[in-house]
Structures are given as C-alpha cells and as structure tokens.
C-alpha cells in the first residue's frame, strides 16, 4: 500500500477531529478542554483509518466518511477516559501523558466522556453529506449504537470487570474481548459498508469476517504487549492486566500460544479479503499494523 495514503488518512482525521470538537475557549471551557485533551493528545487512529480504508476498498468519497470516522474516534476516546477512572482500571497514564481524571479531576473526566459519546451521534445526525440519504444515516446510527452498548463495548467492559480474579473459559474470554474491543473495530468497517450504495452480500460477508477476526486479534496483541512491552513504549502502565488479575489470552493459554493465535486470526482476516483483490491493500496494511505493533 502507498504510504502516502496512510499519511493522508491520518492527516485528514486530525483536521476533521479538530474542526468537529468544541473550541477550548467556548463555555464550559474546562469540559471542552478535557474533551480536546483526550481526543487530540495522540493515538494511532486505527479506528478512523479503518473507516477510510474500507471506503477506499468500496470506492467511496472520503468526505462521505468523515462523520463516521470522527464518531468512532469520539467513542473510543470516551471509552478510554472511563476505563482509566478509579472505579474501573484506575490508570494514571495514557498515550504517555496523565489520564483525563488525573489532569482535570474525576468529575470533569466523567462528563467529558459523556459529552464525547453524545457528540459521536450528533456528528452523524447532522452530517450534511447524508441529507439525501436518511436510510444510510439511520444504519450508521444503529451500527454505532450496537457497537458501544450493553451488547458491545460497554457489555464487554462489564464482563471484563466481572472476570477479574476468576478463571474463565476460552469461549468466555473470546466473547469478552469481542465485545470490549472487537465490537467498535468491527463497526468501523461496517459503517463504511453501510455508506456503500452497491455492495454484494459476498462483499459484506467478507468485510464482516475480516472485521471480527482483526478486532479479536487487536485485543490478543494488547494482552501480549502488556507482558512484553515497557511503559515507555506502550504509553500506558505496563503490567496493568496482571496487577488487576484480569483474564487475558497469555494467562489462559500461555504467551507463545497467544502470539500464535493472533497470527491465525490475522491469516483468517486476510483470507476474508481475497475476493477484493488488490483493492483491499489498505485494509491489509492496517491489519498487519494491528498484529505486529509494539504499542
């Protein structure tokens, strides 16, 4: 894949995020400052890049994907703010800087997360590019809502908390991770598919399979990095999963088998893209980054 394309995705999303977030000098200023701090403070932008890359595969205009790309990143940022709270994972470091509740106080951090979740749906509901496509707008709202509710990300977080200090089965762990991390990554791909006017059942199934496999692979790799990487490289506290006695793939099956499982998931994701040929290279590039990253 052309590295310029990756750069273009990243450059585009930074510009659109900055434009759609409330200005820090607009009241309530401290709340808006916290929102901007949490969203614009770095990050790999894998989720919005997945939206744009899927759009590239389907021949979509990136301008029609800006709202979806921002929405998934707003949801992701809100989830990180809440995950880091003392009542959840109680983390002090995120992306190499103090977490939102450390920098701005716990109450403001909670409100910033709430506001970002609301903003995610607002940007889709008011996106000018969807004025003549109410069905697409409704589909996008439904896909994102499913991904972040009790049958998605929030449900996964609840299962994660319930599993601390317990022995769970591999099937239970896969469900936990598929919801907590995989659901939003899956939504990134499927929201772009929702925007496509012409997409076959085979294409939608291929993208669905790709997204589910790579979403799970992302979390397996996260589990491995929590053991193998350093706090400086990760940008967050190394060993946090072990400290909280969380259920992870290395704990369940051993480190070597967890790595092998991530590779198998990657291979299955690649196979699901075969029907797209070279057009799917943008997705292949991001998938390889997910499985081989060091932070």
CA–chain centroid gap for 43, Å, is 11
Residue numbers of the chain with a pLDDT score lower than 70: 1-7, 229-244, 295
User: Strand 97-98 vs strand 93-94: parallel, antiparallel, or unpaired?
Assistant: antiparallel
- Residue 279, both tokens: 């057009």
H or E segment to which residue 13 belongs? helix 3-20
pLDDT at residue 183, rounded to an integer: 96
- The whole-chain average pLDDT of the chain stands at 91
Question: Do residues 106 and 88 touch, judged by C-beta distance below 8 A?
Answer: no
CATH architecture designation of domain 3-292 = Orthogonal Bundle (1.10)
CA–chain centroid gap for 100, Å, is 18
Question: Do residues 123 and 70 touch, judged by C-beta distance below 8 A?
Answer: yes
- CA dist 175 and 181 (Å) reads 10
**28: cis peptide before it, omega within 30°?**
yes
- CA dist 268 and 2 (Å) reads 23
pLDDT at residue 7, rounded to an integer: 59
Q: What does the domain layout of the chain look like in residue ranges?
A: 3-292
Question: Do residues 201 and 67 touch, judged by C-beta distance below 8 A?
Answer: no
- CA dist 190 and 139 (Å) reads 10
H or E segment to which residue 94 belongs? strand 93-94
CA distances to 187, 200, 287, 290 from 244, in Å: 28, 44, 28, 24
Q: Does the reported pTM lie above 0.75?
A: yes
Place of tokens 């939003």: 184
H or E segment to which residue 48 belongs? helix 46-58
């Amino acid at each position: 894949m052309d590295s310029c394309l990756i750069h273009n995705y990243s450059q585009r999303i930074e510009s659109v995020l900055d434009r759609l977030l409330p200005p820090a000098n607009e009241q309530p200023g401290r709340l808006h400052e916290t929102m901007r701090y949490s969203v614009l403070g770095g990050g790999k932008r894998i989720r919005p890049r997945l939206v744009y890359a899927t759009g590239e595969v389907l021949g979509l205009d990136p301008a029609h994907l800006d709202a979806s790309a921002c929405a998934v990143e707003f949801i992701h940022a809100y989830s990180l703010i809440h995950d880091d709270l003392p009542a959840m994972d109680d983390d002090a470091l995120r992306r190499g800087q103090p977490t939102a509740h450390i920098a701005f106080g716990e109450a403001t951090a909670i409100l910033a997360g709430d506001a970002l979740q609301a903003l995610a749906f607002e940007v889709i509901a008011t996106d000018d590019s969807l004025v003549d496509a109410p069905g697409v707008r409704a589909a996008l709202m439904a896909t994102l809502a499913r991904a972040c509710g009790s049958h998605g990300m929030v449900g996964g977080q609840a299962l994660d908390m319930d599993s601390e200090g317990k022995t769970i089965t591999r099937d239970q762990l896969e469900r936990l991770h598929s919801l907590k991390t995989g659901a939003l990554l899956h939504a990134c791909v499927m929201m772009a598919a929702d925007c496509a006017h012409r997409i076959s059942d085979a294409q939608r199934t291929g993208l669905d399979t790709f997204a589910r496999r790579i979403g799970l692979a992302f979390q397996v790799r996260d589990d491995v990095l929590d053991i193998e990487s350093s706090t400086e490289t990760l940008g967050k506290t190394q060993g946090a999963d072990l400290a909280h006695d969380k259920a992870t793939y290395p704990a369940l099956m051993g480190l070597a088998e967890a790595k092998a499982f991530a590779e198998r998931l990657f291979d299955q994701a690649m196979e699901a893209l075969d029907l797209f040929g070279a057009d799917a290279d943008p997705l292949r590039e991001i998938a390889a980054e997910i499985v081989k990253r060091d932070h």
